[in-house]
Copies of this chain bind each other. A is one copy, B any other.
Amino acid sequence: MTDRIRDYLRARRDLGLDEGPVMVLDLDVVRDNFSAFARALPDTRVFYAVKANPAPEVLSLLAEMGSCFDTASVAEMQMVLAAGAAADRISYGNTIKKERDIVRALKLGVRLFAIDCQGEADKILSATAQAEVEAGEVQVFCRILCDGAGADWPLSRKFGCEPEMAVNVLEHAHRAGLQAYGVSFHVGSQQANTEAWDGALASASMIFRECALRGIGLSMVNLGGGFPTKYLKQVPGVETYGDAIFRALTKHFGNQIPETIIEPGRGMVGNAGMIEAEVVLVSKKSEAEDEVRWVYLDIGKFGGLAETMDESIRYAIRTDHDEDRMAPCVVAGPTCDSVDVLYEKNHYPLPVSLAIGDKVWIDGAGAYTTTYAAVAFNGFPPLEQIVI
């Protein structure tokens, strides 16, 4: 918790406005994070992953600092444009796009697109005709599969294709008149292993060589996101990631290091936000001595903590009683849904003196909370966000 967040919450409480959970985000931390990325990877362009937290204040700050933006939808592009960044700083990083949305993106001036199959290249080509844009102005990069080992948030095979297929996808795009620009991958969100980029860069360099043999000069590698934020466990600093990535780039590309892009989301905003929530109930399921306590908060899986799904992300939960004796608890949310349980397989230690009405603070809550919140499940409003 930063001093600014602490002061804000104290004032809110003093005014009696502290009803319902709130996430408070400190822009100073976002500013520091952007600077750290810029220092750690000085020759790499930063594309902030807007989906992590699209708050207008965050987008404006990053636009001002010179960041580029990775967007998942036309709505996100519009938010970025409204924040003052030009369209040439936006990529359409979703490999799953409706053709009419590609047309809209082109009309907004966006020229950088992710693909992972020939069908998606065909849609872009067709969209250029409709938007009256030269195909040769449009840059496409092909996403490849990555195993995601070492990451806390599960990475599926949803995005990307096998590296061998990527060569054909890029050749297809090239022959259609699009600019075959490069390769992208994602090592998995909340990636604790700084060496995770090595294997993917080996594949990327193979694709560069294979494309060169076919007369196609690729020039960019999109290193994706995956940079972690601190929850309970300590994580390496961003400079450690920068060093490891630079070593892997040199190893696989020698003295022909390509242009690079990174797409931090969680790593940019995660530690900037903190949730204040309230204990609604503490109870037991039977009167047995050793029965575990259930602690019910006024925030749960449907109110912003969706990333506790399968207990993937284990948040740090602080209380005013943390000096007291701790005992294992099940932690659950406030809705009438039986799956709205945060930690049950792995009990969470909380102070024995924690009581109904106590506040709790959840750190590292700046990413993937406000937008994951359900519209009005059980009549509960979505998570409120205050940017300071």
Which residues of A are in contact with B by a Cβ distance under 8 Å?
19, 49-51, 54, 71-76, 79, 93-100, 116-117, 119-120, 123, 145, 148, 153-162, 164-165, 168, 186, 189, 278, 280-287, 294, 296, 298, 302, 306, 309, 330, 332, 334-341, 344, 356-357, 370-382
- What is the CA–CA distance of A341 and B338 in the complex, to the nearest angstrom? 21
- What is the CA–CA distance of A376 and B332 in the complex, to the nearest angstrom? 24
Q: Is the CB of B375 within 8 A of A73?
A: no
Q: Is the CB of B379 within 8 A of A75?
A: yes
- 9 examples of A-B residue contacts, CB within 8 angstroms: A96-B280, A99-B357, A119-B283, A120-B281, A145-B285, A159-B336, A159-B338, A161-B283, A165-B286
Known: A158-B340, A339-B156. A120 touches B379 (CB 8 A): no
A343 to chain B, nearest CB (A): 12
Q: Give the nearest-CB partner of A145 in chain B.
A: B285
Q: Give the nearest-CB partner of A98 in chain B.
A: B280
* Further 15 A-B residue pairs, CB within 8 A, beyond A75-B376, A154-B338, A155-B338: A51-B377, A72-B378, A73-B378, A75-B379, A94-B378, A96-B334, A97-B281, A117-B283, A117-B284, A119-B282, A154-B339, A156-B341, A161-B285, A162-B285, A302-B372
A322 to chain B, nearest CB (A): 22
- What is the CA–CA distance of A142 and B343 in the complex, to the nearest angstrom? 24
Q: Give the nearest-CB partner of A101 in chain B.
A: B280
Q: Is the CB of B75 within 8 A of A160?
A: no
A104 to chain B, nearest CB (A): 11
Q: Is the CB of B73 within 8 A of A296?
A: no
Q: Is the CB of A119 within 8 A of B162?
A: no
Q: Is the CB of B160 within 8 A of A379?
A: no
Q: Give the nearest-CB partner of A371 in chain B.
A: B377
Q: Within 8 Å CB of A97, what residues of B?
A: 280-281
- What is the CA–CA distance of A280 and B100 in the complex, to the nearest angstrom? 11
